[in-house]
């Protein structure tokens, strides 16, 4: 039976597109470079704590139907993140409302670019917005937290990121209660298992260890050359490309297109950026932080959920609250990730332990003695992601749509960076993009 659609990439964008297309009766094959499916979803199991540890995506942000649909249908257990937010300010640990601080600035940004003002407000970077709207030393504290939010949550360089895009993403988040966060019990792997089970039932071949090098196409026909443990050449009438933005941008190109991608797609690639993140998860013998006292605050971080600081390397940390497991994750986004570039895994873990011990005012040796395992993944130097997740640069409005638009009804594009609903950079945005591309293909049948 000839293949109707070849899908490049077995992340959630590719998998969800494969589901839609195979449900409609099309013959699909999936080509994946890694030895596993899931792409930037990568769940490991810590054997000592018998608990999942995420190396990539961890949270469900809000109530997106793309995730809650399968979660509810397959009765996956989900826990809402709870607990107290703490900040380390001037070397002092205290409970804080990080978002209220950052919102003083972010709400002004939302207002400048709301429907009434949008036409008049030209796009600018977040740093330019701060300089224009909050010049001088006033609001210094709030400005720093807001900048931390932009680089922490969006993994974006505040000097490059488009304010229009930031406002659109915040609006999109509001619509799905994006300020709430959830963990899937057993980790994001459980969602992959749901997708995989149905794809197996539908007999969709997934070729792992299959590195796509070249995509040659003509109207209504595609030839894909790949190296790896499976056949080296595949053909179909159409292909759906779900390669991460970082892979599409890389020079020299890891995947060649013949004919080349059109000029407008190349221009769009330049206006989008791949955010950088290094994350380190530390598994401990016990939740040693729960009885610590902040320097000047009488409370203890017993219910610590998030810890924010201005640490150069790991400014954000979180626990697994409300689950009382001794696991804590450090998050080095944007410039912090750049500062860790080129370091070995051990050196990065050491930096993380150093940061944590400083923030909690606990001797590094005491923290080290508690560690049973550490997990990290450098998404930036991973050749199959080349970054963590995408954002839009100043003047890049419309570029996600250009990147995601089909070529000659033969090549189709999906993946988180092509999402146009304000949810790029997320698991649900990636799923939505896969479904959108599948619908585009089905309209032609």
Ligand X SMILES: Cc1cc2nc3c(=O)[nH]c(=O)nc-3n(C[C@H](O)[C@H](O)[C@H](O)COP(=O)(O)OP(=O)(O)OC[C@H]3O[C@@H](n4cnc5c(N)ncnc54)[C@H](O)[C@@H]3O)c2cc1C
The residues of the shown chain that bind ligand X, judged by CB under 6 A, are 8-14, 31-34, 39-41, 56-59, 61, 211-212, 242-244, 247, 254-255, 277, 279, 379, 384-385, 388-389, 415-416, 425-427, 430
Least distance from ligand X to the Cβ atom of residue 73, Å? 19
Least distance from ligand X to the Cβ atom of residue 33, Å? 4
Instruction: Closer to ligand X by CB, 44 or 364: give it.
Output: 44
How many angstroms separate the CA atoms of 222 and 237, rounded? 6
In which order are the strands placed within the sheet that holds 78-80?
60-61, 181-184, 78-80
Instruction: Closer to ligand X by CB, 57 or 411: give it.
Output: 57
Least distance from ligand X to the Cβ atom of residue 314, Å? 13
Beta pairing partners, 307? 86, 317
Instruction: Closer to ligand X by CB, 183 or 393: give it.
Output: 183
Least distance from ligand X to the Cβ atom of residue 83, Å? 16
Instruction: Closer to ligand X by CB, 16 or 93: give it.
Output: 16
Instruction: Closer to ligand X by CB, 300 or 421: give it.
Output: 421
Least distance from ligand X to the Cβ atom of residue 183, Å? 9
Least distance from ligand X to the Cβ atom of residue 445, Å? 23
Least distance from ligand X to the Cβ atom of residue 12, Å? 5
Instruction: Closer to ligand X by CB, 297 or 323: give it.
Output: 323
Least distance from ligand X to the Cβ atom of residue 26, Å? 19
Instruction: Closer to ligand X by CB, 93 or 403: give it.
Output: 403
Instruction: Closer to ligand X by CB, 40 or 271: give it.
Output: 40
Least distance from ligand X to the Cβ atom of residue 231, Å? 14
Instruction: Closer to ligand X by CB, 33 or 394: give it.
Output: 33
How many angstroms separate the CA atoms of 403 and 161, rounded? 18
Residue 408's region, left for phi above 0, alpha for psi from -120 to 50, else beta, is left
| Contact present, 240 and 437 (Cβ < 8 Å) | yes
How many angstroms separate the CA atoms of 344 and 330, rounded? 16
Least distance from ligand X to the Cβ atom of residue 381, Å? 12
Instruction: Closer to ligand X by CB, 300 or 405: give it.
Output: 405
């Amino acid at each position: 039976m000839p293949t109707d659609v070849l899908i490049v990439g077995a992340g959630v964008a590719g998998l969800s597109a494969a589901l839609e297309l195979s449900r409609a009766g099309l013959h699909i094959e999936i080509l994946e470079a890694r030895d596993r499916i899931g792409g930037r979803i990568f769940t490991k199991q810590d054997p000592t704590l018998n608990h999942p540890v995420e190396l990539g995506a961890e949270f469900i942000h809000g109530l997106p139907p793309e995730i809650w649909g399968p979660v509810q249908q397959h009765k996956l257990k989900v826990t809402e993140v709870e607990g107290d937010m703490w900040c380390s300010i001037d070397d002092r640990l205290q409970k804080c409302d990080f978002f209220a601080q950052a919102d003083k600035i972010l709400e002004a940004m939302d207002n400048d670019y709301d429907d009434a003002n949008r036409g008049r407000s030209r796009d600018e970077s977040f740093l330019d917005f701060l300089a224009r709207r909050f010049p001088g030393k006033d609001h210094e504290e709030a400005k720093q937290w807001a900048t931390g939010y932009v680089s922490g949550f969006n993994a974006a360089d505040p000097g490059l990121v488009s304010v229009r895009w930031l406002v659109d993403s915040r609006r999109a988040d509001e619509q799905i209660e994006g300020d709430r966060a959830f963990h899937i019990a057993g980790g994001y792997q459980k969602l992959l298992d749901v997708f995989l089970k149905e794809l197996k039932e539908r007999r969709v071949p997934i070729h792992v260890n299959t590195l796509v090098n070249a995509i040659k196409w003509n109207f209504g026909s595609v030839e894909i050359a790949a190296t790896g443990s499976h056949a080296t050449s595949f053909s179909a009438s159409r292909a759906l490309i779900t390669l991460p933005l970082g892979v599409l941008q890389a020079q020299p190109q890891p995947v060649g297109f013949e004919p080349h991608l059109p000029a407008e797609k190349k221009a769009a690639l330049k206006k989008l950026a791949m955010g950088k993140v290094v994350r380190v998860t530390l598994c401990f013998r016990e939740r040693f932080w729960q009885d610590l006292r902040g320097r000047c605050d009488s409370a203890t971080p017993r219910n610590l959920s998030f810890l924010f600081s201005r640490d150069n390397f790991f400014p954000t940390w979180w626990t697994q609250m409300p689950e009382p497991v001794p696991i804590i994750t450090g998050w080095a986004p944007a410039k912090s990730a750049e500062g860790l570039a080129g370091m070995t895994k051990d050196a990065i873990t050491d930096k993380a332990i150093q940061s944590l011990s400083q923030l909690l005012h606990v001797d590094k040796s005491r923290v080290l003695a508690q560690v049973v395992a550490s997990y990290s993944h450098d998404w930036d130097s991973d050749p199959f992601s080349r970054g963590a997740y995408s954002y839009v640069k100043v003047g890049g409005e419309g570029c996600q749509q250009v990147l995601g638009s089909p070529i000659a009804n033969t090549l189709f594009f999906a993946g988180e960076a092509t999402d146009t609903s304000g949810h790029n950079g997320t698991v649900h945005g990636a799923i939505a993009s896969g479904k959108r591309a599948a619908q585009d293909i089905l309209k032609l049948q």
